[in-house]
Structure formats: C-alpha cells, structure tokens
Chain A
C-alpha cells in the first residue's frame, strides 16, 4: 500500500495471510483506492473498513473507489458486522478479586459438602427402602458390579498387599535385629496389616479403580441425557444406578480386605523366613498366640464405611457432570482425590475412636 496525494492506494492480494504486514495506523487521506486489489477476503475487507473507520474518526470523509461489485458487497457485509467495541480491554486482577475468588471457592466447597451429605442421605434412605421391599432390589446389577469392583480387583489388591507385607518384614527386620528382637517382626506385620494397611490400601486402590469408573459411567449417562430419560420413565436413578453400585461395593470391600490381609501376612511370612530365618511354623504360632483377633475386627469394621464413602463420592461426582466432555474428566479426577482424602480422614477418626475405646 502507499499514500500519495491524499489517496491510500492498496494493491495486490488483500487476504487473511497478507494483511498483518499492513500499517493502517498512519496517514491521512480522503480516498481509499482499491483499483489495484486483485483478491479480497473478509480479513482484507476488515482491514479496509478499519482504515475507513480510523479516517472517519479523524474527522475526514473517506471514499472507497475502484472496488469491483463483489468487493463492494463484501465490504458492506463486513461493515455491517464489525464488532462494536474494539476489543474489550481485559480487566486487571486486583487483590479484592483474589479475595473474592478465595471466598467463592470456600462457599463452593461448603455447598458441595452439603450436597454430598444430602446425596448420602438419599442413597441411605433408598437402600433402607430396598431392604423393606426386597422385590425392588436389582440383583443382576448388584452381581454385575460385585464382579466389576470385587472379583476383577482381586489380582491387583492381592499383589499390592503381598508387596506391602514384604516391605514391612524387610524394613522391620533391619530395625529389630539391632535389639535382637527379630521375632517381634511377626507382631509388627500382623498388627499393621490387619489393623490399618490392609484395608486402607485396598480402599485406596478401589477408589482409584471403581470410584473413577462410577463417575465416568454415570457422567457419560448424564451427558447423553440417559438419566433424564430414566426419570421420565418413572425410574429413580438412585435406586437403579447408585444403590446397586454402593451395595456391591459395601459387600465386596470387606472381602477384598480379607484377601489383602492374607496376602500381606503371606508376603511378610515369606520375607521373615528368608531374611530373619523365622520359619513359617514359628510365624504361625506367634501370630495365633500374640495377635488379638480384635486387630482383624478393627480393620474389617472400617471396610463398609470406606466402601460407602467411595461409592457415594463416585456416584455423586458422576451426577454433577454437565454437558461438556471436559467436566467429565475434571469430575472423575475430583472423585478419586476426594474419595481417597475422605477415606484417610475416616481412617484417622476411627483410629482415635478405637484408641479412646481401648480396643
């Protein structure tokens, strides 16, 4: 482009790929000559209209000459569709905004917790309703989810617990050997696995495995309006979708916990034998004579509560999914993080409770 004798002369192709090099902010002219423009697209027309507007704003009355009929049409279309404000300036973030964000975040967390507790209440009420009317229980769905969340998780849970037993024996042996108290490794393994680690780590694995699967399944159903469709058919999604999942998990998590206990003790026994020479016979007799059965009880009592937390959080987050795919991903990860967090919190509260009760 050039500016001669008060005429802007534009030449060549005015296309989306070429307009960025134009300097439209300089110069005064009464006429914009498009006679030499071979190709014009929306972006080129935008550049011309922007130039025209700038000249108008400067108090001039620019004329566009030399445009072909189709170019004139395109200029008219673009002129009619120019955005009103020239790029809304991005507001600066002030300290007050940040404070507001923190406040909003806190209120959101509070509201979500209330909603979660409300959801828990509805699910528990539904489950009691099902106990009173057993004919409405969906056995097929429960068995299906028992297989998905329970049976299919056995290999990973057993392997994890076995390795934890091995690690405990190994680490415990190194410390206890200093005092010549190798045989106490049996108590160490038995109490820590039966009371805490077996069930806690199982719950964490199940939260990652099944809690996320619940959220993803319910979330995609919500996205495709299947849940609304269910409601219009008179089916209660909590009864049909949530209750079977939660019940299946509450039945299977204690079983998985027992499996984890066995695998953990087995791993610990093997490592004690290799590392400390504690024979399986000695391990067994010491386990039976020194470990109170309540250690096992304390561990397993927690299992249904953990299962309830994982199931409720997984399903609740699934029901929160909106219309877009991104919220599904975000809520699935929220579901896992929140359920693991709540499981550990609950475990800590159980510990305090049992300590006070002296169990």
Chain B
C-alpha cells in the first residue's frame, strides 16, 4: 500500500440480494499506470468499475479516488470529483439523439462555460485523437459501426482531459485489427495526456500489449496483482487456465516475435 495510489479500494463488499459479488476486495491503482482487471464472467469486474465511479453504492468498504472518499461524499464534492475522470461504457453509451460532436461536447457543456467555437474545436481535436475521420463529427450514433461507437465513447470520456479513464471492455466485439488499433490508441493517449487507465478486459492481447499491471478478480476479491510475467507463476487453477491456456500462449508467442 503506497501513499500515491490514485485509486484505493479497501474491504469492498457488494451484494445483489443474497448474492455476494465482492467479499473484502482490496485494490490500489498507481498514478499513470494502465491496470488491467481480468476475471471470469460474473466475478464483478464491471461492478467494481461501477462502484469506483460511484454509480453503485457498495454494502461495505472504502473507496478513495484522489484521496477522497467516493462513497460518502457530498453531491458538490462528487461533482468536482467526477470532472477528473472519464468513463467509457461497453458499447460507447453515446446519447442516441445527439451527433458525435454533440456527444463529445456534452461534458464540456455541462461542466464548463466555453464559447461555441472553442468547444467545437476541442471536440474536433478529441475526435481526431481517437482516430475517427472528421466527417464522423456530424454523424448520429446509429450511423456508426461498433468500433467507431467505442472510439466516439472514448472521445467523450477524455473530453475534459481527465486524470483517470475507466474503460469497460474496450476491445470486445472489435476485429483483431481494430482491437490492436484501440490498444495503440489507449497507450498513445496515456503518454500524451498522462492518463491513468482502469481497463476492464478479457482481451489477452490488450493485457500483453499495454497493461503495466494486471489484477485478477476471483472468489470475490483480488486474487493476484502483477505484471504479465508474474501472472505465469500464480498458483491458482483459474489464473493458470487463463494465462497458460492456448490463447494466452498464442498472445505471448506473438509478443516475443514482435
């Protein structure tokens, strides 16, 4: 446990009815790192993300982001806190009645008082940064492909230059080329904007390519944290199956070739 942890979760317990998802979960995320959260289906990866950003009130435990408690914060503090992070949901979660440009401008419009030209220029930069063509600015979300929607969602998440970006399965449903491009994009933006990235993923290639550290969720807690190499030595059947399965070997082999 270090002092400069940007996100710190202690003893988190979340329950849905009688079903306990997290049972005393501890996790620290350091400033500037890309942390990959992995785990089997139903181990509460997305639930953890929702708890950290305050969309879900946990039953017990403490979550601090930037040293402030997310759980028992006043509405005013929460609003201030919220400006410092961006969230990208699984399918982009773009507002379907707004164009891409309006979607990216939405957080600026809500949080800040900018002139129309400034806002439009900044939105155009963000949209180009995530690799969307300029003509995508005026398209509606329903006219975009799945990969483009995710990119637009990412652009909205970084609209206010947040310090932390939460990404929920950013590469799920993308083809390998699109997924690799998204990984590169995440790494690029991390170094350009100094982001901390909280990445919920199933994608072994993403884990290899961009994650500094990996946290494995199982049995309601964080089973292990460490680099990809350290994961190979964790003695737990699920971790072994996950990181030593045929797909993991393929991803590892590919990385060594590169």
Contacting pair A73 B96 (CB below 8 A): no
Chain B residues positioned under 8 Å from A46 (CB to CB): 121-122, 125
Q: How far is the CB of A175 from chain B (nearest CB, A)?
A: 51
Chain B residues positioned under 8 Å from A70 (CB to CB): 194
Chain A residues positioned under 8 Å from B126 (CB to CB): 42
Give the residue among B125, B126, B140, B193 with the most A Cβ atoms within 10 A. Answer: B125
* Contact status of A73 and B125, CB under 8 A, knowing A87-B120, A324-B142: no
> Chain B interface residue count: which class?
20 to 34
Report the Cα distance A232→B64, complex, angstroms. Answer: 50
One of B134, B140, B141, B161 near A41 (C-beta < 8 A):
B161
Chain B residues positioned under 8 Å from A41 (CB to CB): 161, 193
Report the Cα distance A83→B155, complex, angstroms. Answer: 15
Give the residue among B112, B140, B161 with the most A Cβ atoms within 10 A. Answer: B161
Interface flag for B192 (CB, 8 Å): yes
Q: Which of A2-57 contact B (CB under 8 A)?
A: 15-17, 19-20, 41-43, 46, 50
Q: Which of A88-132 contact B (CB under 8 A)?
A: none
> Chain A interface residue count: which class?
20 to 34
Interface flag for B191 (CB, 8 Å): yes
Contacting pair A326 B97 (CB below 8 A): yes
Contacting pair A77 B192 (CB below 8 A): yes
Chain A residues positioned under 8 Å from B228 (CB to CB): none
Report the Cα distance A15→B112, complex, angstroms. Answer: 11
Report the Cα distance A81→B193, complex, angstroms. Answer: 14
Interface flag for B199 (CB, 8 Å): no
Contacting pair B142 A322 (CB below 8 A): yes
Bitwise, B122-140 to A at CB < 8 A (1) or not (0) is 1011101100001000001
User: 20 A-B contacts, Cβ less than 8 Å apart?
Assistant: A16-B112, A16-B122, A16-B160, A20-B113, A20-B115, A20-B118, A42-B122, A43-B122, A46-B121, A74-B193, A78-B125, A81-B125, A81-B129, A83-B134, A84-B134, A86-B121, A87-B117, A87-B121, A323-B96, A325-B96
